[in-house]
Amino acid sequence: MNDFYAVIMAGGSGERFWPLSTSKRPKQFVTLFGGKALIAQAAERLEGLVPPERILVVTAQSLVAATRRALPQVPAENVVGEPMRRDTAAAVATACGLVRRRGGADAVCAILTADQLMTKPAAFRRILADAAVAAKKTDAIVTLGVTPTFPATGFGYVEPGVRAKTGTKTPIFLAKRFVEKPDAATAKMYVKKGFVWNAGMFIWRVAAMERALAKHAPALAILAAAVADAAKPAVVLKKLYPQVPKISIDYAVMEKAEEVLVAAGDFGWDDVGSWSAIENHFPVDKAGNAVAGAATLLDCASVSVVGEGAPVALFGVKDLVVVSTPKAVLVCAKDRAAELKKLVAKLPSA
Amino acid sequence: MNDFYAVIMAGGSGERFWPLSTSKRPKQFVTLFGGKALIAQAAERLEGLVPPERILVVTAQSLVAATRRALPQVPAENVVGEPMRRDTAAAVATACGLVRRRGGADAVCAILTADQLMTKPAAFRRILADAAVAAKKTDAIVTLGVTPTFPATGFGYVEPGVRAKTGTKTPIFLAKRFVEKPDAATAKMYVKKGFVWNAGMFIWRVAAMERALAKHAPALAILAAAVADAAKPAVVLKKLYPQVPKISIDYAVMEKAEEVLVAAGDFGWDDVGSWSAIENHFPVDKAGNAVAGAATLLDCASVSVVGEGAPVALFGVKDLVVVSTPKAVLVCAKDRAAELKKLVAKLPSA
């Protein structure tokens, strides 16, 4: 499909992987997982499906230069900066306008994430290609679902309905409903009933998204049209962003749109949500310790250590995350790692 | 007394305060306690009692240059390096020879420690002066005892006997016996019976020490005599050190000598034995956290932090010692801090 575009959403505040990530170098630039920046991996896994000139990035204005450096194969003008923080709906509307300008109303756009891992990139490309075909054929918005590997409480879920006639090898279903992050009991029920994780990735024909925006979020439809008409999107964004609502695309469009499909599968999706993820990505010894980098451990258990700064030595401790960078050292109880932003908010200069 | 000399024993392996102290920069150079190097404090607290030209230091050959830098007021030739590690008896014999050469058989020498704090230096000078008077008058070896403030299990004890007729204001007693570090029950009994801590400091007339060495440790008597005769002690030490026994002065002499006195008192003695000492020397908050340097704490309890390298941030942890230096980061269970040398032995390059 030669009018298939990918727009990588690269916001991020840098709190969850502090001090390795910071507001100036958010999670998508962290190289700890997979050996290179997550955003570079996000672009590279599209190889063979979407060429670099059809890859776009919507990111914070302050991160445009770093993003261009991380993606040398992507044309500089394809990396677009948002003049202020808005939620995902504004970014999707911007993406819609950017793709309309390049590929017209019939082009298909995949909204992708910048800071997740996929350990099965070939499976990901297959499902993405089939979702694009389905989006073009049905004119519905297609969301990517992830087959749950455990009853997670940290993600939203999508309930698949009847199978849609898409002609694709990947089975694609009508999305009956989107649900928020559940409690543990509800999560178990969801998994039992075949719900899938909402991975925050959407594929749609430009005209379909324009129609959905016009119906459910008129201010964003205006933004999309203005971006499509603009030779220099920066000027339009600067003017219109202050006026668009701070709202997520799930809430603004996906939960309201009539025609939403879900293409679910296992492509080794991993959102690498917090420091607890370390133990899934580095060798773990018999005592449950995972070490990335320079560290010496004695009588420790269930400790995760990242030594990218001064070498770390741990003695007689357990259930900790310890991260050493040249600029800061973090010592965090493992069961508090998900709340790290509370600590970051307290730092003298985060 | 114008023939009263002080010899500061400055060995130290740098394990107990790693990573702030290292083998190249042992505890006596740590500036965390009292704001300047402990060895500089050891020399300065003698002001008014022993002038710099009568202060000597016996240290490791590798530490001579650093020691001279730390003690600019002390003549360079007064800092003598041991060519290899021996125990305290060899160092005392060397001190005996150095003082004999400078002050003759009648001079009095105080063997002092390099890496302890004394919060009441005036009280220390008074007891030291009285001990010197007693040593000269009685020809006994006088040991300094510290009135216990709690039943410590980390120090040896001295049992005081009858009061000696020394004519000094400080009460000085016959030392009935020296005992090793006790268990908790024995320590309580010692304190109840009026035993005092053995602070590892001794005051003696040169002739008295020479006599004691000749009787109880002939090889060390030979060393002392050779040092006394040598224009350049380094040559003598290099030749004789390989032959002298590795033995502590307590074991070689003090526990065998007939005439030992003990001058006990409270001079705010603090051996600053391990990282647990932090909480005695820095402000402690309501949750029991003590912080020296750059650190941010959230939901922590009973944590001691030294931030001399990258700033430290701690979240949800307790009962830890965390030390950040530019070269290493230590995260240690508080109740293992006293065993730190086990960890240091495991480091790739300690």
Whole-Å CA distances, A214 to A138, A207, A209, B137: 19, 10, 8, 105
Amino acid at the residue A37: A
pLDDT band at B130; cut points 50, 70, 90: very high
Task: Look at residue A235 in the predicted model and tell me its pLDDT.
Answer: 94
Is A346 a residue whose pLDDT tops 80?
yes
Residue B280, pLDDT above cutoff 90 = no
Question: pLDDT tens across A84-113, in order?
Answer: 989 999 999 999 999 999 999 999 999 999
Q: Which amino acid is at B171?
A: P
Q: How many Cα atoms sit within 13 Å of B261 on the Cβ side?
A: 29
Interchain contact, B328 vs A312, CB within 8 Å:
yes
How many Cα atoms within 13 Å fall on the side-chain side of residue B19?
26
Quick: pLDDT tens for B303-341. Answer: 999 999 999 999 999 999 999 999 999 999 999 998 999
Predicted local distance difference test score (pLDDT) of residue B24: 87
- Using one digit for the tens of pLDDT, what is the confidence trace for A276-309? 888 888 999 999 999 998 899 999 999 999 999 9
For residue B12, is pLDDT > 80? no
Give the pLDDT of residue B246. 93
The pLDDT tens digits for B239-268 are: 999 999 999 998 899 888 888 999 999 999
- % of residues, chain A, pLDDT over 90: 86
In this complex, is the C-beta atom of B345 within 8 Å of any C-beta atom belonging to chain A?
no
In angstroms, what separates the C-alpha of B293 from chain A's closest C-alpha? Answer: 13
Domain coordinates in residue numbering, chain B? 4-270, 275-346
Q: pLDDT grade, residue B208 (50/70/90)? A: very high
How far from chain centre, in Å, is Cα B297? 34
Does B227 score more than 80 pLDDT?
yes
* Pairing between β-strand A55-60 and β-strand A79-82 as defined by DSSP bridges: parallel
Give mean pLDDT, residues B129-154.
95
Nearest alpha carbon to residue B69 among B112, B119, B29: B29
- CB contact A349 to B (< 8 Å): no
What is the mean pLDDT of the segment spanning A44-60? 97
Query: What is the CATH code of the structural domain delimited by B4-270?
Result: 3.90.550.10
Instruction: Please name the residues in contact with B287: beta carbons below 8 A apart, sequence gap of 6 or more.
Output: B300, B301, B302
Give the model's pLDDT for residue B99.
Answer: 98
A335 contacts in chain B (CB < 8 Å):
316
Q: Is the pLDDT of residue A350 over 70?
A: no
Using left for φ > 0, alpha for ψ between -120 and 50, and beta otherwise, residue B212 falls in alpha
* pLDDT at residue B285 in the model: 95
| Inter-chain residue contact A313 with B328, CB threshold 8 Å | yes
Q: Comparing C-alpha atoms, which of B90, B64, B125 is closest to residue B263? A: B125
Picking from A20, A298, A300 by the largest number of B CB atoms within 10 A of its own CB, the best residue to mutate is A298
pLDDT at position A250 is: 87
A-chain residue closest to B324, CA distance: A329
B342–A contact, CB cutoff 8 A: yes
Residues 8-27 of B with CB under 8 A from A: 18-19
The residue of chain B nearest to residue A324, with distances taken between CA atoms, is B329
Pair of tokens at residue A107: 């082009």
Q: How much is the pLDDT for B294?
A: 85
Beta-carbon separation of A328 and B310 below 8 A: yes
Conformation bin of residue B93: beta by default, left when phi > 0, alpha when psi is -120 to 50: alpha
The confidence score (pLDDT) of residue B276 equals: 83
Check pLDDT > 80 for residue B13: no
The closest of B247, B257, B255, B208 to B109, measured between CA atoms, is B208
Measured in angstroms, the CA of B276 and the nearest CA of chain A are apart by 14
- Neighbouring residues of A222: CB distance < 8 A, sequence distance ≥ 6: A240
pLDDT tens track for A160-199? 999 999 999 999 999 999 999 999 999 999 999 999 999 9
**H or E segment and range at residue B321:** strand B320-324
Q: What pLDDT score was predicted for residue B48?
A: 95
**Residue A273: what pLDDT?**
83
* Per-residue buried b or exposed e for B220-238, using 16+ beta carbons within 10 Å of the residue's own CB: bbbbbbbbbebeebeebbe
The ipTM assigned to this model is 0.84
Between chain A and chain B, the number of residue pairs with CB atoms below 8 A apart is: 115
Are residues A317 and B332, on separate chains, in Cβ contact within 8 Å?
A: yes
pTM of the model: 0.85
Exposed/middle/buried for residue B188 (C-beta within 10 Å: 0-12, 13-18, 19+): middle
pLDDT of residue B350: 47
Q: What is the predicted pLDDT for the residue at A7?
A: 98
Mean pLDDT calculated for residue range B183-204: 95
- Whether A322 and B329 lie within 8 Å, measured CB to CB: yes
Is residue A249 within 8 A of residue A89, CB to CB? The reply is: yes
Average pLDDT value for residue range B94-115: 97
Q: Which residues contact B210 (CB under 8 A, 6 or more apart)?
A: B96, B100, B105, B221, B224, B225
Report the pLDDT averaged over residues B140-166.
Answer: 94
